Amino acid sequence: MKFGLISAAQCDVLVDKMVARIKVWSSRNLSYTTRMQLINSVLMSIHMYWAQVFILPKKVLQEVTKVCRAFLWSGQAYSQKNSNISWESSCCDKKQGGLGFRDDGDWWEYKPVASASWYWKKICAIKERLKLVYTQTELAAMPHYSVKTVYEKIIGPKPVIQWDNMVWNRLNIPKHRFICWLAVQDRLQTTAKLARFGVSNTASCLICGQADEDHKHLFFACPYSSRCISALKAWLGITYSTGNLKQLMRCIAHGRMSKFRRQVSFAMLAAAVYAVWSSRNGCFWNASFPTVQNMVARVKQNVRDRILVVLPKHVSRRDSLWFATL
Ligand SMILES: [Zn+2]
């Protein structure tokens, strides 16, 4: 049988096992205390063992409860005899006036035993997280259980970012996308960051050495990248001046230009970020980096080549002419 939900018919074995045990005991005249102990130690452990491996159907859990309840009050597996105390009350902890049966029928309140498997504990932990965002009634009221809806509710609302179009732009050179994705979130391992972690003994910019190498400096304030980016912006006629990658992207995204020009601008920006980062790494590994002229020429060439390969089908005549002049 597979791990997971199994049919009620497959669970008949579980109920049969419990009934078989009770049949053996029923020939003896057992006291209530003994029956209580047997339920706790034997019947509940058969049930618990199954519950660790399978998600038991509700019908089966009801059957298990019925068998245990009948045994407690009559000593038989099946009986119509009335219970003196409701099953729910019997299942309470002894401190709460019950007999301490573990009624796993209530999955909502279920806690795995210490010896339960790692997988089972993980499943139970997820259930606990679910309880933080849903009440039992809310879940029951769902017409269809939707994994997507529940997952989104568990992880909580995430702010929508404004830069995905730029980072994952179709015209970007694929290998530039990942570095760009990190750069826009200030997540590249700059020397300022490494120094903060104690990995690097300097925080200075590897290219100019004039300031701490954080994202703002590396891509905009550094004399080297500032000259590169200015040249590349001039190449495409971008006039926005900002010292922040995210802001520059936003300006381009909302600027008055055609979709194609915007896409080319994004591709250039991603290529520029990648090239600056490569130059910086060149300083670190080889103590050398390309001149501003070389770097700019290479970025222009890379962007032109890429766009020729993935040129969108519907580019206006005006945009085509503009691209031809680049
Ligand atoms: Zn610098």
Q: Is the pLDDT of residue 149 over 90?
A: no
Q: How many angstroms separate the alpha carbon of residue 263 from the centre of ligand 1?
A: 28
The single residue listed with the structure tokens 């119509």 is 80
Among 29, 132, 111, 25, which Cα is nearest to 68's? 25
Exposure string of 130-163, with b = 16+ CB inside 10 Å and e = fewer, is eeeebeeeeeeeeeeeeeeeeeeeeeeeeeeeeb
Q: How many angstroms separate the alpha carbon of residue 216 from the centre of ligand 1?
A: 10
Q: How many angstroms separate the alpha carbon of residue 227 from the centre of ligand 1?
A: 11
What is the tens place of the pLDDT at every residue in 225-248? 999 999 999 999 999 988 889 999
- In contact, 154 and 133? CB cutoff 8 Å: yes
- In contact, 73 and 81? CB cutoff 8 Å: yes
Domain assignments of the chain as residue spans, ordered by start: 4-155, 164-325
What is the tens place of the pLDDT at every residue in 289-305? 899 999 999 999 999 99
Q: Is the pLDDT of residue 2 over 50?
A: no
Q: How many angstroms separate the alpha carbon of residue 301 from the centre of ligand 1?
A: 24
- Give the pLDDT of residue 1: 41
Q: Is the pLDDT of residue 71 over 90?
A: no
Q: How many angstroms separate the alpha carbon of residue 43 from the centre of ligand 1?
A: 72
Residues with CB under 5 A from ligand 1 (ion): 205, 207-208, 222
Q: Is the pLDDT of residue 201 over 60?
A: yes
Q: How many angstroms separate the alpha carbon of residue 166 from the centre of ligand 1?
A: 25
Question: Tokens standing for 46?
Answer: 């058969």
Q: How many angstroms separate the alpha carbon of residue 219 from the centre of ligand 1?
A: 8
Mean pLDDT of 279-288: 90
Q: How many angstroms separate the alpha carbon of residue 221 from the centre of ligand 1?
A: 7
What is the tens place of the pLDDT at every residue in 81-95? 777 777 777 776 677
Q: How many angstroms separate the alpha carbon of residue 195 from the centre of ligand 1?
A: 16
Report the distance separating Cα 65 and Cα 70, nearest Å: 8
**183 — pLDDT class (breaks 50, 70, 90):** very high
Q: How many angstroms separate the alpha carbon of residue 135 from the centre of ligand 1?
A: 54
Exposure string of 187-225, with b = 16+ CB inside 10 Å and e = fewer, is ebebbbbebeeeebeebbbbbbeebbbbbbbbbbbbebb
